[in-house]
Amino acid sequence: MKIMNDIYGIHHVTAIASDPQRTVDFYTSVLGLRLVKLTVNFDDPTTYHLYFGDELGRPGTILTFFPWSEAPKGHRGTGQVITTSFLISEKSIDFWQTRLKKNQVTFNGPFKRFDEQVLSLYDPDGLEIELVSHSSAQDRGVNVWNGAGIPSEHAVRGFYSVAISEEGFERTASILTQELGFTYVGQEKSRFRYKIQDSEAGASIVDVLCLPYTPLGYIGVGSVHHVAFRTTTDDNQKSLRANIIKAGLNATPIIDRMYFHSVYFREPGGVLFEIATDPPGFTVDQKSSELGARLMLPKWLEPERKNLEKILPRLRLSNTRKGSEFEK
């Protein structure tokens, strides 16, 4: 049964990094995102969980990291999210080429794909990032975070899309269209594009790359751990979970992640999908002006704060428009 209006696009993408300080520096000082939450991996509290996004970390803008310094390097291949794409203004390509060169970040492009212009680059751990120039940016410029000296008109607008690499695309396409409400909108070579139609939220595109002769990838440093799709209410999430199970896929129970509620399942090609609720959001335990300024822990981990602060590496943070620094 096809689900309509329950999924509104991408909620967040979670990847694996090696060095938390280097990750903070790149995403705040180079890409100009805001560190909206400094917390820990609730399943592994001795590791940070870093959240970057727009001014409030709104769904559709959130890139998160588990910095696992001892993890092996990931290998790109099928069964993975291989590219995470951010949206920029149509007039911002020149600005970003200049900025990336200034920060000694190697990039490819710009090149044309569908009706967009693309700059492709890699973060310090080898995670592939794209900056996509598209007309839809004009509708998503209200809540940008103009950090690191980036003018608002050139700031990142949140996600544009994710690209999934698969050995075959039909079964994955079936889950996207029949269970999550995406619509097939076009093909360019081996890239099949799916979109949430009539979504005002943005960040509504998933590209499936059919690469049958590519080896299976494995997750590690520099790769995406999972992609989460957004829904607005707990009731919608329950309905989506029930339909995923009816489709023959295993889904976790609903898990409280404090800033959203989560259900996880693997699509047929092996990519870990999540359905995450928009509420309660990152201001549930901090004022908007204080987001990312200190280590935040859920109540059940507060008794361990002193021990965790001894274990977790100390970070230098710069998280305001004026770039003032503070430490955890």
Domain boundaries, the chain: 10-327
pLDDT category of residue 146 using cuts at 50, 70 and 90: confident
In this predicted structure, what is the pLDDT of residue 328?
42
Which element (helix H / strand E) includes 49?
A: strand 44-53
The CATH fold of domain 10-327:
2,3-Dihydroxybiphenyl 1,2-Dioxygenase; domain 1 (3.10.180)
In this predicted structure, what is the pLDDT of residue 325?
39
In this predicted structure, what is the pLDDT of residue 147?
83
User: How far apart, in whole angstroms, are the C-alpha atoms of residue 185 and residue 116?
Assistant: 14
Buried b (16+ CB within 10 A) or exposed e, 224-235: bbbbbbbbbeee
Pairing of strands 255-256, 34-41: unpaired
In this predicted structure, what is the pLDDT of residue 143?
79
Give ∠ CA 66-67-72 in degrees, rounded to 5.
105
In this predicted structure, what is the pLDDT of residue 134?
95
In this predicted structure, what is the pLDDT of residue 326?
36
Average pLDDT, the chain: 93
Reported as a single tens digit per residue, the pLDDT across 99-123 is 999 999 999 999 999 999 999 999 9
pLDDT category of residue 140 using cuts at 50, 70 and 90: confident
In this predicted structure, what is the pLDDT of residue 319?
55
pLDDT category of residue 198 using cuts at 50, 70 and 90: confident
In this predicted structure, what is the pLDDT of residue 317?
87
Residue 197 scores a pLDDT above 60: yes
Q: With pLDDT > 70 as the criterion, what percentage of the chain qualifies? A: 94
Reported as a single tens digit per residue, the pLDDT across 250-262 is 999 999 999 999 9
In this predicted structure, what is the pLDDT of residue 201?
66
In this predicted structure, what is the pLDDT of residue 112?
97
Beta bridge partners of 80: 165
